Amino acid sequence: MKLKPQTKQKIAFALLGLAAVVVIIPVAVILIILIKRGLPAISWQFLTEMPRMGMRAGGIFPAIMGTLCLVAGAIGVALPLGVLTAIYLVEYAKKNWWTRMIEIAVVNLAGVPSVVYGLFGLGLFVIFFHFGSSIVAGALTLAIMELPVIITSSKEALMSVPRSFREASLALGVSKWETIRCVVLPNALPGILTGSILGVSRTAGETAPILFTVAAFYLPRLPQSIFDQCMALPYHLYVLSTQVPNVKPALQYGTALVLVGMVFSLNLVAIIVRAHIRSKKQW
Amino acid sequence: MRKFREAIIEKTILLNGFACILFVVLIFVFLAKDGLTLFRTIAIQDFLFGQIWSPLAEPPQFGILPLFLGSLFVTVGATVISVPLGMACAIFIGEIAPRWMREVLKAGVELLAAIPSIVIGFIGMTMLGPVVKSLFHLPTGLTAVTGSIALAFMAIPTMVSIMEDAITSVPRTYKEGSLALGATHWQTIYRVIIPAASSGIVAAIMLGIGRVIGETMAVMMLTGNASVMPKTILAPVRTMTATIAAEMGETVRGSEHYFALFAIGLVLFGITFLINFLADMARHRKKK
Amino acid sequence: MVDPKIVVKDLNIDYGGAPALKDMNFSVMDKEILGVIGPANSGKTSFLRALNRLNDLDLGCRMKGSILLNGKDINREMDAEEVRKKVTMVFALPIPLPMSIFDNIAYGPRRHGIKDKKKLEEIVEKSLRAGYLWDEVKDRLTSSAMKLSGGQQQRLCIARTLAVEPEVILYDEPCSGLDPISTAKVEDAIRELKSRYTQILVTNNVKQAARVGDKVAFFLMGELVEIGEANQLFTAPKDKRTNDYLTGRFG
């Protein structure tokens, strides 16, 4: 039997729509499960207390703080580095093989497996630089890992600033760097921030790179300096769900919910910033 | 004075550009430094083709073939699931869905991308594992298939966003030309748009595969961690990434085992480097 | 005999393909308005971009010959910022920067090191008056320049170039996007500025060159066909091609 093209189209579109639904369902399922099972565990005490009894009771405060420290440290290093690199690539680089090499390097940094970043961090920061297992080592490892995300989104933001703005400024005798600083960057900044926040949110959830560079199994106190180990939310969830027997499920789901909540709220901020810019964009 | 300051700033920016190359080289150097040390005591073919990974045995054996096959099984499984789903989803978002639905789906895909792999692993352990176990009547639900399913959903956002870019950047005129000749929308999609977007789609698949191979935490929690030669996709396996993550904490620095884990890292680095390089080539070909 | 403001000697430009300008030789006197006319792709814009070295930004651009400003070679004896500060450019489409009207005008002076607020206010007022815009915007200097009409935006761009106190102003078809009334206002502004600046006006509109220019140059396919006093060129062109263009045979 030969189907009419219109019938074929209906079938095809229905299947494609079904696929889209299949992709989205897990998101909804995961969120519903986390909220349903995790929410009862969350209380003020859970968020602000130290873990007790080998993590089987008490809160997750040090893990939250640890993750915040790592994220802040990583973004502090990666943001300037990434933005400057993007500026180089968009504004200064000529079309030669050096530039191509840098682009390939960025692409490949983005593709290096997270656990390999962990090995690298272990080799370079923990051992070679003698930082030990510490917040610096972990934050630097994460920084290098989020670098490609920041570079890529900053590049896009810089390229979206019209060339005419640059020429208008240059035509007034303003130097190249001043033009970048006063015209290009302010207009690219929101885009840069959006991309960077998305990069950061990824960092907050990463486990493999911090396994051997910073994460402490059980450390019921806050880190004293950047050369201290610390707990971190993703690793804490890993420990709770695979390494410690007889943990109340509520504790696991609660930790997962806090982690996802943190990552999603960062994402939400980025999405709001982006929507805000789009509505205000004048060119 | 002004001139001088600017020259310094420009030099700094230039140096920054090279930092990325430096990092790639550093990663390679630090992996190679420790990884290659292994081959002083272990023959390279025993490492690559040895069928037993048993670092704590006496004498220890460091054959990564079972781990490599573990990665391969999981990756192939995830690819088989994610490529059709991802492509369908991208086509639906890029071509068919009405505006509001497109926004909802895109936001959903972005959320999926934002869920940390550890959370996927955790939910997979508690929800997906039991389902797989009872569905196939297995002694354990933590198998290569379980890992593949979870990883497929982690690769899909990467694939969808790049494929959708590729699809929407096909010039309108192609599409209008085809529709004007009386082809249906669906015929236009698979005869005109998909071929025109093919290099972007290939790049998307490559990058998705790269993501799957490199994924660590979720596979470690979901595939059962048995470092034996896998027979079927319904058996527990262990991937290269999971091996590093699981065992690095217990090794002694400078031991053969430690070097062996770095050597695995080096292999992984090589594989992902190759995949990303090829994906980038595919994307660049599109631009020309 | 007064020295010319700008001297163009054996100027050749190409962008890696066919030449955009071929063997140009002429000069422009101080405080003169030169109208440049010619059909599309005749090298008018390339010529302007060479004059203030915006061509430096095009990586494929190659240039031979020299351009002298006040007797100094702009490519060999001056750096690009110095040239562009003295020879500024108003573009075809108005390009207000996405900031307030005040900040747009003050942008150039600020970058060149003027910090004093009072001084900046003076410059802004003076420039806006010279650009025929002051009365229209004096009450809303802090509002965004993007909200101005097209004609106002273009006069803002002229005022912005005046604020850096240039010696030469280049216009690249400044009225191509404007309605007749706005065009008239921009032309008024240009004529008003004649007392202080040397101006070069590239235009597609032959009549505009006739209305505004002291001298007019006719470019065709990258060559300078003819240059002369506006009256002479329009009434009695020496070259047949000029005549054909003016009478509408092509272009």
Residue B138 lies in a domain: yes
Categorize the per-residue pLDDT at A267 as very low, low, confident or very high, splitting at 50, 70 and 90: confident
Is it the case that residue A282 has pLDDT exceeding 70?
no
User: Which member of B17, B23, B249 has the closest CB to residue A212?
Assistant: B249
Is it the case that residue A280 has pLDDT exceeding 70?
no
Contact: A174, C112; criterion CB under 8 Å: yes
Burial of residue A237 (number of CB atoms within 10 Å: 0-12, 13-18, 19+):
buried
Give the model's pLDDT for residue A1: 60
Is it the case that residue C246 has pLDDT exceeding 90?
no
Contact status of B273 with chain A (Cβ, < 8 Å): yes
Each residue of C126-177: pLDDT tens digit?
Answer: 999 888 888 888 899 999 888 888 888 988 999 999 999 899 999 998 888 7
What domains can you pick out in chain C, each with its CATH number?
Answer: 6-246 (3.40.50.300)
Q: What percent of chain C has pLDDT over 90?
A: 26
- At the topology level, CATH places domain A61-278 in MetI-like fold (1.10.3720)
Categorize the per-residue pLDDT at A256 as very low, low, confident or very high, splitting at 50, 70 and 90: very high
Closest CA relative to residue B219, chosen from B136, B286, B120, B137: B120
Categorize the per-residue pLDDT at C107 as very low, low, confident or very high, splitting at 50, 70 and 90: very high
A-chain CB neighbours of C93 within 8 Å are 164
Among the ranges given (A65-79, A81-95, A175-189, A223-237), the one the predictor scored with the smallest mean pLDDT: A223-237
Give the model's pLDDT for residue C251: 60
CATH (domain of B200): 1.10.3720.10
Contact: B119, A92; criterion CB under 8 Å: no
pLDDT (average), residues A257-277:
85
User: Which member of A172, A175, A282 has the closest CB to residue C88?
Assistant: A172
Each residue of B22-44: pLDDT tens digit?
Answer: 999 999 999 999 999 888 888 88
Give the model's pLDDT for residue A46: 84
Structural tokens at position B179: 């529709």
User: Which member of B125, B207, B269 has the closest CB to residue A241?
Assistant: B125
DSSP one-letter string for chain B? -HHHHHHHHHHHHHHHHHHHHHHHHHHHHHHHHHHGGGGGTS-HHHHHH-S-EETTSSS-EE--HHHHHHHHHHHHHHHHHHHHHHHHHHHIIIIIS-HHHHHHHHHHHHHHHHS-HHHHHHHIIIIIHHHHHHHTT-S-S-SHHHHHHHHHHHHHHHHHHHHHHHHHTS-HHHHHHHHHTT--HHHHIIIIIHHHTHHHHHHHHHHHHHHHHH--HHHHHHSB---S---STTS-B--HHHHHHHHGGGSPTTSHHHHHHHHHHHHHHHHHHHHHHHHHHHHHHHH-
Neighbours of chain C (3+ CB pairs under 8 A): A
- Please tell me which residue of chain A has the smallest CA distance to C52: A171
How much is the pTM?
0.87
Is it the case that residue A258 has pLDDT exceeding 90?
yes
User: Which member of A18, A104, A241 has the closest CB to residue B122?
Assistant: A241
User: Which member of A95, A172, A283 has the closest CB to residue C161?
Assistant: A172
Residue B240 lies in a domain: yes
- ipTM for this model: 0.88
Name which residue leads in pLDDT, C178 or A139. Answer: A139
Residue B11 lies in a domain: no
Each residue of C13-42: pLDDT tens digit?
Answer: 888 877 888 898 989 999 999 999 988 888
> Strand C198-202 to strand C33-37: parallel, antiparallel, or no bridges (unpaired)?
parallel
CB pairs under 8 A between A and C: 68
Contact: A168, C52; criterion CB under 8 Å: no
DSSP one-letter string for chain C? -PPPSEEEEEEEEESSSSEEEEEEEEEE-TT-EEEEE--TTSSHHHHHHHHTTGGGG-TT-EEEEEEEETTEETTTTS-HHHHHHHEEEE-SS----SSBHHHHHHHHHHHTT---HHHHHHHHHHHHHHTT-HHHHTT-TTSBGGGS-HHHHHHHHHHHHHHT--SEEEEESTTTTS-HHHHHHHHHHHHHGGGT-EEEEE-S-HHHHHHH-SEEEEEETTEEEEEEEHHHHHHS-SSHHHHHHHTTS--
User: Which member of A94, A173, A282 has the closest CB to residue C144?
Assistant: A282
From CA C15, how far away is CA C41, in angstroms rounded? 13
Is it the case that residue C111 has pLDDT exceeding 60?
yes
Give the model's pLDDT for residue B233: 79
C-chain CB neighbours of A172 within 8 Å are 84-85, 88, 107-108, 111, 160-161, 164
From CA A260, how far away is CA A45, in angstroms rounded? 19
Give the model's pLDDT for residue C1: 53
Minimal Cα–Cα distance from A266 to chain C, Å? 28
HSE-CB at B228 with a 13 A cutoff on CA atoms is 8
Contact status of A234 with chain B (Cβ, < 8 Å): yes
A58: enclosing H helix or E strand: strand A57-58
Contact: B184, A9; criterion CB under 8 Å: yes
Contact status of A121 with chain B (Cβ, < 8 Å): no
Minimal Cα–Cα distance from B274 to chain A, Å? 9
pLDDT (average), residues C197-220:
90
Residue B148 lies in a domain: yes
Contact status of A20 with chain C (Cβ, < 8 Å): no
Q: Which residue numbers in chain B have pLDDT < 50?
A: 288
Give the model's pLDDT for residue A31: 92
Contact: A34, B123; criterion CB under 8 Å: yes
What distances in angstroms separate CA B211 from CA A101, A180, A240, one per listed residue? 22, 35, 26
Q: Domain of B155?
A: 45-287
Give the model's pLDDT for residue A18: 92
> What are the structural domain ranges in chain A?
61-278
The DSSP bridge partners found for residue B54 are B61
How many domains are contained in chain B?
1
Give the model's pLDDT for residue C93: 86
Contact status of A265 with chain B (Cβ, < 8 Å): no
Minimal Cα–Cα distance from C88 to chain A, Å? 5
Contact: A113, B272; criterion CB under 8 Å: yes
Mean pLDDT score of chain C: 88
